[in-house]
C-alpha cells in the first residue's frame, strides 16, 4: 500500500516534467559532479512540494483509493456472506477507515524528497518555485486539485468499462477453449 501511495505521489508531481525545458544530456561523470554541486536541499524540495499542494492532491488520491477499497471490500463481503447486514457493511467500512488512518502524510511527503533531489537540481527547484509563485503557477495550483479529482474519476470509469469488456472477452474465449478441450478424445 505504501509503495502504491508513493507512486501516486510521484504521479501527482509529474507536472514538474512539463514545467522544465529539456536539455541535452551531459556526460555521466559531468552529471554526477553537477548533481553533487547542485543537489536541491530537503528544505527547498519541501517548499516546492508545499507549493505543488502535494498534501492536498495526495489526500484526494487517498480518498479515491479508500472509496475504491471500501467498494471492493464490501463486494468481497457480499461474496462471502450471502446477505450481509448494514452493521456488517459498516464494520467493513470501519476496517478500511482505520487502516487508511494509519497512513502518515508527513512520512509519504518525506519519502518523496530524495526522488526529487535525484531528478532536480537546486536551480531546477528554484525555477519551479519561481514559476509556481507566478500568476499562472498560482492558477495551476488553485485548479490542480479539481483537475486531479476529475481526471481520476474520468479515467477510473473508463478503465472499469474496459476491464469489464476485457473480462467478458476472456470468459468467452475460455469457454470456447474448454469446449474444444472437452471435445478432444
pLDDT for 29 equals 57
Cell numbers standing for residue 164: 469489464
3-state SS, one letter per residue, for the chain: CHHHHHHHHHHHCCHHHHHCCCCCCCCHHHHHHHHHHHECCHHHHHHHHHHCCHHHHHHHHHHHHHHHHHHHHHHHHHHHCCCCCHHHHHHHHHHHHHHHHCCCHHHHHHHHHHHHHHHCEHHHHHHHHHHHHCHHHHHHHHHHHHHHHHHHHHHHHHHHHHHHHHHHHHHHHHHHHHHHHHHCC
The pLDDT tens digits along the chain (185 residues) read 444 444 444 444 444 333 343 334 555 655 555 555 689 999 999 999 998 888 887 888 889 899 999 989 998 988 888 888 999 999 999 999 999 899 988 988 999 999 999 999 999 999 999 999 999 999 998 898 789 888 888 887 777 788 788 888 988 998 888 888 888 87
pLDDT at 129: 95
CA proximity to 20, closest of 121, 128, 134 = 128
Identify the pLDDT of residue 176.
86
Residue 117: per-residue pLDDT = 95
Amino acid at each position: 500500500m505504501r509503495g502504491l501511495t508513493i507512486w501516486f505521489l510521484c504521479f501527482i508531481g509529474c507536472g514538474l516534467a512539463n514545467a522544465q525545458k529539456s536539455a541535452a544530456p551531459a556526460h555521466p561523470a559531468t552529471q554526477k559532479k553537477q548533481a553533487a554541486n547542485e543537489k536541491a536541499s530537503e528544505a527547498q524540495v519541501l517548499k516546492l512540494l508545499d507549493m505543488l499542494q502535494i498534501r492536498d492532491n495526495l489526500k484526494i488520491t487517498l480518498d479515491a483509493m479508500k472509496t475504491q477499497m471500501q467498494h471492493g471490500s464490501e463486494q468481497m463481503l457480499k461474496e462471502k456472506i450471502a446477505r450481509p447486514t448494514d452493521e456488517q457493511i459498516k464494520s467493513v467500512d470501519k476496517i478500511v477507515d482505520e487502516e487508511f488512518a494509519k497512513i502518515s502524510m508527513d512520512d509519504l511527503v518525506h519519502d518523496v524528497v530524495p526522488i526529487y533531489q535525484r531528478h532536480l537540481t537546486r536551480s531546477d527547484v528554484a525555477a519551479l518555485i519561481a514559476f509556481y509563485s507566478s500568476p499562472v503557477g498560482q492558477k495551476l495550483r488553485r485548479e490542480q486539485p479539481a483537475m486531479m479529482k476529475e481526471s481520476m474519476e474520468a479515467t477510473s470509469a473508463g478503465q472499469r468499462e474496459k476491464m469489464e469488456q476485457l473480462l467478458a472477452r476472456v470468459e468467452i474465449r475460455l469457454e470456447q477453449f474448454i469446449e474444444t478441450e472437452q471435445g478432444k478424445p
